Amino acid sequence: MRHFLKETDFTREEIAGVFATAAAMKRDRGRCSSAQPLARQSWGLLFFKKSTRTRVSFQVGVHELGGQPVMLNADELQLSRGESAADTARVLSRYLHGLVLRCYSHSLLEEFAQVGSVPVVNALSDYLHPCQIYTDFFTLAERWSGGNPDRYLESLKGRKIAFLGDTACNMANSFILGGALLGVEVVLAGPEDYEPGGEIRTQLKSDGLAPTWSFTTDPVAAVRGADMVYTDVWVSMGMEAEKAERLRQMQPYQVNTGLMRAAKPEALFMHCLPAHAGEEVAQEVLDSPASIIFDQAENRLHTQKAILAHLAS
Ligand code: CP
């Protein structure tokens, strides 16, 4: 049985397969002949945090793969009244064929995977957001390969990505891990205190991956020569108490038209959404031809369907 808790749970070859499947599922969506690898299965979607894209795309995705999505709000389970995570994992495993879980601590995902007996998918933890990163690299590969799935991974190799703002967040960690796995240079630019920490460095080592990332406090240096510029919200879920200080510290890292000019002329702009226009990104960038944010959002559906199909195979 396989789980998908972090980027490196699949090999490069498996990722190539996932991307090819995602492309085929995108092309064939709605056709009668569409694959139904989750037929007669029920998959739980357990969310401890708010979500629009992940929740809806997984719900639709499980349905389109022939399965039944079972929405589980953490507040409505006995978990919220003290039942242990271990007992919850064991019980849910007796009903469900798989579990998609969004939570705060990554260790909760690991506990569900260890104690339960069905595949667990990370739908975001405070540490990593692997479904988003696979989608983002798939979205870039679609563009950079000229739409040729045989060239998807090759088209990513050697590219430079700049990530600005909260460089200690789960998306930054996921870029560090995903970039090393796929041979993409990742330059992170944020306030000094937000340099990525020891946990992600240890993860790279334990996965046997050479780092392809660097950190700077200079946003222009980070963006110079970049093929794609990325940002995420400055105040992640659970960090609301730090809002005022974060907004002050991260102001120099706002992605605006002036900063985009330092990137390659053909550089793309991406954001995992939700966006806070006027904070981490200017509205004019969100609306610009460089912005592919809604392709990203759509591709969550196709990529996650391919991940689920791979786990079910
Ligand atoms: N990008 C992302 O995970 O969006 P949601 O929080 O809306 O699921």
- Note whether 123 and 134 are same-domain residues: no
Instruction: Decide: 66 and 40 in contact? Cβ < 8 Å.
Output: yes
| Residue 163 DSSP SS3 | strand
Residue whose CA is at the smallest distance from ligand 1 atom 1: 272
> Catalytic residue at 129?
yes
Whether 90 is a known active-site residue: answer no
Our count of domains for the chain comes to 2
Joined tokens for residue 38: 């989750």
Q: Is the CB of 99 under 6 A from ligand 1?
A: no
* Residue of 223, 181, 176 lying closest to 200 (CA atoms): 176
Q: If 0-12 CB within 10 Å is exposed, 13-18 middle and 19+ buried, where does residue 307 land? A: buried
Q: Quick check: is 232 catalytic?
A: yes
What are the pLDDT digits (tens) for 169-209? 999 999 999 999 999 999 999 999 999 989 999 999 999 99
**Taking all residues of the chain, what is their mean pLDDT, rounded to a whole number?**
97
Residues 39 and 144 in one domain: no
CA torsion sign, 45 to 92 to 134 to 50?
positive
pLDDT in tens, 37-93: 999 999 999 999 999 999 999 999 999 999 999 999 999 999 999 999 999 999 999
272 tagged catalytic:
yes
Pick from 45, 47, 53, 71 the residue to mutate for probing ligand 1's pocket: most ligand atoms within 8 Å of its CB: 53
Task: Tell me which residue range forms the domain holding 272.
Answer: 130-296
pLDDT at 237: 79
User: Could you tell me if 112 and 218 lie in one domain?
Assistant: no
99, 157: one domain:
no
**CATH number, domain with residue 86:** 3.40.50.1370
Q: What is the whole-number distance in angstroms between the Cα of residue 100 and the centre of ligand 1?
A: 14
Which atom, in ligand 1's list, is nearest to the CA of 129?
3
pLDDT of residue 150: 95
Q: Domain check: are 168 and 291 in the same one? A: yes
Residue with tokens 């989608």: 135
Q: What is the mean pLDDT of residues 250-265?
A: 98
Q: Are residues 149 and 267 in the same domain?
A: yes
Q: What's residue 34's pLDDT?
A: 73
Spot the catalytic one: 53, 232, 249, 254.
Answer: 232
- Residue 129 CB: number of other CB atoms within 10 A? 27
The rounded percent of the chain whose pLDDT value lies above 90 is 96
Domain-located, residue 51: yes
How many other C-beta atoms can be found within 10 angstroms of the C-beta atom of residue 287?
11
Contacts of residue 182, Cβ cutoff 8 Å, sequence gap at least 6: 12, 15, 137, 153, 156, 157
Structure token digits, residue 305: 């369907």
Terminus-to-terminus CA distance in the chain, angstroms?
10
User: Residues 21, 310: contact at Cβ < 8 Å?
Assistant: yes
189, two tokens: 């630019």
Question: Does any ligand 1 atom lie closer than 6 A to the CB of residue 271?
Answer: no
Choose the catalytic residue: 3, 129, 159, 302: 129
Q: Please give the Cα distance from 101 to 73 (Å, whole number).
A: 10
Residue found under tokens 């392809």: 212
Instruction: State whether 91 and 231 are in the same domain.
Output: no
With a 6 Å cutoff on the Cβ, whether 200 touches ligand 1 is no
> Do residue 38 and residue 170 come from a single domain?
no
Give pLDDT tens digits for 260-313. 999 999 999 999 999 999 999 999 999 999 999 999 999 999 999 999 999 998
pLDDT score, position 35: 78
253 and 157 within one domain = yes
Is 256 within the bounds of a domain?
Answer: yes
**Is 2 inside any structural domain?**
no
